[in-house]
Structure 1
């Protein structure tokens, strides 16, 4: 009724959760084929749906969440589901594949998006001095990608034009930081959840119910988190590090 999951000819690809209006139940679209990634996608979109239902009480003008918190419930639900699936698996190869995929996804969401943001900064700063050539844009792209990926990755000829496939640079300038912000926020929140003895669920639901009525600093305060503190970001990156440690341990 509210989830359109089957794959059909002509159906839109991808997945999303649509809140419609606060007085109506949200709808979820995805293309479910029974793969582990499909389960994670469903958990992600249902997280959005839960957020939309809980925030509906704020009304049509204030139910929508700010960009900084838009991915909180979805990514948090994804992390809970991932942990559950990982714990249920006893197959070493399967656990290894799941951890490798999760680490890759998280690095893409944080490190890669920061590289995109640095590219935008370089381009817009240089543009103040005059028109940019396609060669100069390519140089900026290769610079940020080399810094992001490190010496282990060789950037081949032709890669200098790959910035053109990122639609955000044209349609939503400086949007990409929100992906990295949101993922690190959820990682820090998940670290609190892991160590919390009681009361986390109530505070978490209250945060989701707030919709767009409060600044993220107010909503994170009950969890003891402060996004202006560098330690906040280290907690988030530490979660990625712990997953890498788990993955490496499976190779020993």
Structure 2
């Protein structure tokens, strides 16, 4: 057996020793409360600018905001990590409440500043953002000016901010606690095992179909039993959000997510148009895979199944070595960063039942670190989850030298960096494959990601659109949510999926993220965008790493359309851009069908 070289349990003590009991962390929160109060006092005494010489005052306030955000992110990331380790940690839950309260006051003060600045006379405003003090924050200030037009009165915003802590965000936290507490009994190799939801969902790629099917049915029964409870949580989250939209006179539920992703509606429309246009090749892939499984139609529980009978397992040690080897072929900085993450205990990958089921990357900008959380199960899907989260962490690393509030980047670009890392590893594995069987195995894994982004994510988007439409008229029952989910899955998969999980509105955590509505289309954006970036990386070789880092560093200071145009010279409001990436994915389907058909012909001739 290979000696364990890489730890699978992360190090949080180097951030704040003694976990939730940490004196250092409690002092950090106290310091945060103090500097947030000081910011509030400064904004209270600040008035609408009248002279261009006031630019330095605005710059000082922005620097204060940047400093608070860095310290606040350090705190909230730490609490997130504590709760992921043990979702029932009561002291961590208490700390989460304190941090949420501080954040509410902070966000309220930012909105107050935005409103004050929005009253600046247009001519003076244009001169102010061109000053040396503010030029680097020009994009953010313009964004703030636009957001200020949707804000309520100070009193209403203050009330909304406070209600969010114990209402809106609390529902999201309750969801995470409930989903993490779920335990199911699954028969594996003749033995009943008690598993967390995260462990049970990992069985979807188990080599034994009976285990996959048993896990799927068991989970569906759990969701059926608890659907009314989860329906209440989802309705409360959506109801609160819609009330805020109503008071802010926001007519479309897509307005906020598009603004948060710094993306135009034209871009989103062009992307989904291309996705819808190219559904047939992926239907063909699903039909071919179903046929290989002995079914007429793709069964939900078989989607993640390996198409070979191989029981191949990838140990954590081998996975890390493979990642480091192939990250090094892309660039020195990516390799060195990943090695630092593995060597310094930034990864929590141990397979145990008391953990949260959601993989994530948490940034710690104060110390220039990240932490990656997942449950590793010795399968290629786990390797890809690991590199996906490392991609997020590398994006955080790229932003280390960026000034102030320009560190914040949209979800769509964050999902680009994570997917790009996946592609490096998948492509490397395919190039190393020594047989048709091995190549098919990896090609299938690649195509699963295409299906997830073009079909599953599309179904999530369609479901959320329809759900919010109906939620405006009143509470949507659990049975109706099941119907909406079924309709969305049928549309998303173009009818190619059988026995789909109509309860996926329960176990898909993205619907319950209160900070980011419509946390779905950014994945498809990131997937297709990363294909374009990866193609350029293949052309330029290791020299591309600098261009890639420059793109990531600019991701917090310009619109998504400008980012792509400035760094890649591409217009993402055009369908032609999205078709370039889509055509690469269609070629994967054609190769898959060609190889599997050849195998069938060989079997027929042998018989």
TM over 0.5: yes
More divergent stretch after superposition (9-18 vs 57-66): 9-18
Q: Once the 2 structures are TM-superposed, how far is the Cα of residue 135 of structure 1 from its aligned partner?
A: 4.1
Q: Distance between the aligned counterparts of 1:182 and 1:137, measured in 2?
A: 28
The residue number in structure 2 matching 1:77 is: 421
More divergent stretch after superposition (191-200 vs 63-72): 191-200
Q: Once the 2 structures are TM-superposed, how far is the Cα of residue 14 of structure 1 from its aligned partner?
A: 5.2
More divergent stretch after superposition (220-229 vs 128-137): 128-137
How does 1:220-231 map onto structure 2 within 5 Å?
220-221=564-565, 222-231=567-576
The residue number in structure 1 matching 2:511 is: 169
The residue number in structure 2 matching 1:7 is: 350
Structure having the higher Rg: 2
Q: Once the 2 structures are TM-superposed, how far is the Cα of residue 4 of structure 1 from its aligned partner?
A: 2.9
How does 1:93-172 map onto structure 2 within 5 Å?
93-155=437-499, 160-172=502-514
Q: Once the 2 structures are TM-superposed, how far is the Cα of residue 133 of structure 1 from its aligned partner?
A: 4.2
Residue 98 and residue 40 in structure 1: after superposition, are their counterparts in 2 closer, same or farther (change >3 A)?
Answer: same
Residue 121 and residue 75 in structure 1: after superposition, are their counterparts in 2 closer, same or farther (change >3 A)?
Answer: same
More divergent stretch after superposition (129-138 vs 17-26): 129-138
Uncovered stretches (5+) of structure 2, i.e. residues with no partner: 1-343, 599-607
The residue number in structure 2 matching 1:236 is: 581
Q: Distance between the aligned counterparts of 2:553 and 2:408, measured in 1?
A: 10
| Structure with the largest fraction of helix | 2
SS at match of 2:556: coil
Alignment counterpart, residue 547 of structure 2, candidates 189, 199, 203: 203
More divergent stretch after superposition (1-10 vs 93-102): 1-10
Q: Distance between the aligned counterparts of 1:131 and 1:39, measured in 2?
A: 40
Q: Distance between the aligned counterparts of 1:35 and 1:220, measured in 2?
A: 34
Q: Is the 8 A contact 1:58 1:211 kept in 2?
A: no
Residue 151 and residue 115 in structure 1: after superposition, are their counterparts in 2 closer, same or farther (change >3 A)?
Answer: closer
SS at match of 1:2: coil
Q: Once the 2 structures are TM-superposed, how far is the Cα of residue 245 of structure 1 from its aligned partner?
A: 2.0
Q: Deviations over 1:180-236 (max 9, x none)?
A: 122121123223334458964332110112241222222211212222111122122
More divergent stretch after superposition (23-32 vs 218-227): 23-32
Q: Distance between the aligned counterparts of 2:375 and 2:486, measured in 1?
A: 34
Residue 174 and residue 13 in structure 1: after superposition, are their counterparts in 2 closer, same or farther (change >3 A)?
Answer: closer
The residue number in structure 2 matching 1:246 is: 591
Residue 8 and residue 101 in structure 1: after superposition, are their counterparts in 2 closer, same or farther (change >3 A)?
Answer: closer
Task: State whether structure 2 residue 381 is matched by structure 1 residue 64.
Answer: no
SS at match of 2:364: coil
Q: Distance between the aligned counterparts of 1:137 and 1:15, measured in 2?
A: 25
How many residues are paired up?
Answer: 250
Q: Distance between the aligned counterparts of 1:16 and 1:77, measured in 2?
A: 15
Q: Once the 2 structures are TM-superposed, how far is the Cα of residue 11 of structure 1 from its aligned partner?
A: 5.0
Q: Once the 2 structures are TM-superposed, how far is the Cα of residue 6 of structure 1 from its aligned partner?
A: 5.3
More divergent stretch after superposition (224-233 vs 208-217): 208-217
Could you say which structure has the greater relative contact order, defined with CA pairs below 8 angstroms and 6 or more residues apart?
1
Q: Once the 2 structures are TM-superposed, how far is the Cα of residue 86 of structure 1 from its aligned partner?
A: 0.8
SS at match of 2:570: coil
More divergent stretch after superposition (185-194 vs 72-81): 185-194
SS at match of 2:558: coil
Q: Once the 2 structures are TM-superposed, how far is the Cα of residue 120 of structure 1 from its aligned partner?
A: 1.5
Q: Is the 8 A contact 2:351 2:377 kept in 1?
A: no
Q: Is the 8 A contact 1:141 1:163 kept in 2?
A: yes
The residue number in structure 1 matching 2:563 is: 219
Q: Distance between the aligned counterparts of 2:496 and 2:520, measured in 1?
A: 25
Q: Is the 8 A contact 1:76 1:190 kept in 2?
A: yes
Q: Distance between the aligned counterparts of 2:402 and 2:578, measured in 1?
A: 30
Q: Is the 8 A contact 2:459 2:493 kept in 1?
A: no
Uncovered stretches (5+) of structure 1, i.e. residues with no partner: none
Residue 52 and residue 247 in structure 1: after superposition, are their counterparts in 2 closer, same or farther (change >3 A)?
Answer: same
SS at match of 2:372: strand
The residue number in structure 1 matching 2:336 is: none
Q: Distance between the aligned counterparts of 1:146 and 1:33, measured in 2?
A: 30
Residue 102 and residue 58 in structure 1: after superposition, are their counterparts in 2 closer, same or farther (change >3 A)?
Answer: same
Q: For the aligned residues, what is the CA RMSD?
A: 2.7
Q: Once the 2 structures are TM-superposed, how far is the Cα of residue 23 of structure 1 from its aligned partner?
A: 3.9
What is the TM-score of this pair, normalised by structure 2?
0.38
